[in-house]
């Protein structure tokens, strides 16, 4: 029977991991992710799970241990943040290229230098082309539910790719919210058993993981990864539908909020979407036709759904909590602008980079963006393509 429990975002992640009960968790603590592996390690110590918990000396070692365990056929998880993700960079690519269904909660935090322990998306966005699927969570409930779904997504026979489940450091990871936690058996029934098709330990049917792969086959293997990403766009909706049957909760690649009749809108990932919803409600009460698009998935990039959701708008502000240093806007902006390029009917688009290093974004700033959008619509022109919101 489900129950509502007061949990931090990190605790919600650990609770999902407890119910999943992976065979192996290899991890190293790093702020603001530490509470995930600390809480889960307590579950292990208390005998609540039979997971093999591997404390390692670094995040590079954590992902290396996960690769070995997953190749052997173990359901495998880890968690990290920021510099920890950067330290495991080499093995992050190996995990995806080897098609290992590892699930990794990522608590988004700014990358050094200067050293900063607060939220932005520079860590996971830096890994956006590593071959991992990426899910971004608005609140603690989504953290809990997306981690459960991520196991099924990663292990789907037509996908077999690792998945990052991202949440905003301290903003959700250490904020307490009521989380509806499902019955253990319900979760176990949903995720089912995992059986690897080609185990590294199957001596009767030997296979090789991570061989030298030169010009003869490397290109084909990269193309296979690309096809797996494409396949995931078709396979993931099956898992959404099954999740709804089990738990009564509907998910999609994107979420729209009061967008159907909107003239202007904002696009944002993770917790910022919740703040924007409050401003949308306020401006709607004043008769303004504003809305929000929240992508849940950045990889695979749900182009068709995003284009369809934005096609009827006059202007759109796309918010990035990371700087790509391209002088062409942040990663979310460039992806969406590219997706809209060939559309005959498309909104004017403008980029706002915000919240780097954990700087707050407040309702006043969001209102100012909607004011900017009204001006863009009136003048039919975007004068400054890339803007910095809340910087001195």
Q: Where are the domains of the chain?
A: 3-247, 254-389
**What's the Cα-to-Cα distance from 127 to each of 27, 147, 366, rounded to whole Å?**
18, 19, 28
Q: Are 166 and 109 in contact (CB under 8 A)?
A: no
Mean pLDDT, range 160-180, rounded to an integer: 98
pLDDT of 387 strictly over 90: yes
In the structure, what pLDDT confidence band is assigned to residue 359 with cuts at 50, 70 and 90?
A: very high
Instruction: Tell me what the pLDDT averaged over the chain comes to.
Output: 97
Average pLDDT over residues 104-127: 97
Residue 301 confidence class, pLDDT cut points 50, 70, 90:
very high
pLDDT (average), residues 347-371: 98
pLDDT at position 91: 98
What mean pLDDT do residues 169-181 have? 98
Long-range CB contact pairs, 211-219, < 8 A, 24+: none
Phi and psi, residue 64, nearest 5°: -60, -45
> What is the pLDDT, as a whole number, of residue 1?
85
Fold topology of 3-247: Rossmann fold (3.40.50)
Whether residue 358 is predicted with pLDDT greater than 90 in this model: the reply is yes
**Would you say the CATH fold of 254-389 matches that of 3-247?**
yes
Evaluate if residue 210 carries a pLDDT over 90: no
Average pLDDT over residues 155-169: 98
Q: At what angle do helices 9-20 and 184-191 cross, to 10 degrees?
A: 70
Q: In which band, very low, low, confident or very high, does the pLDDT at 174 lie, cut at 50, 70 and 90?
A: very high
Residues 6+ apart with CB under 8 A from 154: 101, 102, 103, 133, 160, 161, 162, 163
Global pTM?
0.98
Question: Can you tell me the distance from the alpha carbon of 43 to that of 51, in angstroms, rounded to the nearest whole number?
Answer: 9
- Residues 54-109: pLDDT tens digits? 999 999 999 999 999 999 999 999 999 999 999 999 999 999 999 999 999 999 99
Name 256's bridge partners: 293
pLDDT at 216: 95
Q: pLDDT at residue 311 above 90? A: yes
Q: At the topology level of CATH, where does 254-389 sit?
A: Rossmann fold (3.40.50)
Q: What is the pLDDT of residue 23?
A: 98
């Amino acid at each position: 029977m489900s129950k509502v429990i007061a949990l931090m975002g990190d605790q919600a992640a650990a609770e999902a991991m407890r119910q999943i009960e992976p065979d192996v968790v290899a991890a190293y603590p790093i702020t603001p992710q530490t509470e995930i592996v600390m809480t889960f390690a307590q579950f292990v110590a208390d005998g609540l799970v039979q997971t093999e918990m591997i404390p390692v000396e670094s995040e590079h070692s954590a992902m290396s241990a996960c690769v070995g365990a997953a190749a052997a056929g173990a359901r495998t998880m880890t968690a990290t943040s920021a510099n920890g993700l950067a330290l495991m960079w080499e093995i992050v690519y190996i995990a995806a290229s080897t098609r290992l269904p590892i699930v990794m909660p990522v608590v988004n935090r700014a990358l050094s230098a200067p050293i900063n322990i607060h939220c932005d998306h520079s860590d996971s966005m830096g890994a956006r082309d590593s071959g991992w699927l990426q899910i971004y969570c608005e609140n603690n409930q989504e953290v809990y539910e997306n981690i459960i779904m991520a196991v099924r997504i990663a292990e789907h026979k037509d996908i077999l790719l690792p998945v990052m489940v991202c949440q905003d450091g301290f903003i959700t990871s250490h904020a307490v919210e009521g989380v509806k936690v499902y019955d253990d058996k319900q979760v176990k029934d949903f995720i089912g058993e995992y059986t690897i098709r080609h185990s590294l330990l199957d001596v009767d049917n030997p296979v090789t993981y991570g061989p030298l792969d030169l010009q003869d086959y490397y290109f084909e293997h990269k193309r296979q990864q690309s096809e797996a990403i494409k396949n995931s766009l078709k396979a993931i909706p099956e898992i959404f539908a099954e999740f709804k049957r089990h738990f009564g909760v509907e998910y999609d690649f994107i979420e729209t909020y009061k967008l159907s009749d909107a003239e202007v809108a904002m696009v944002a990932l993770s917790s910022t979407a919740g703040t924007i919803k409050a401003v949308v409600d306020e401006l709607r009460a004043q008769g303004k036709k504003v809305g929000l698009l929240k992508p849940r998935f950045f990889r695979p990039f749900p182009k068709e759904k995003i284009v369809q959701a934005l096609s009827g708008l006059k202007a759109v502000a796309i918010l990035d909590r990371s700087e790509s240093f391209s002088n062409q806007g942040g990663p979310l902006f460039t992806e969406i602008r590219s997706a809209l390029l060939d559309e005959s009917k498309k909104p004017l688009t403008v980029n706002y980079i915000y919240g780097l290093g954990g700087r707050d974004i407040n309702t006043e700033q969001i209102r100012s963006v909607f004011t900017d959008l009204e001006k863009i619509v009136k003048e039919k022109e975007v004068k400054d393509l890339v803007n910095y919101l809340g910087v001195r």
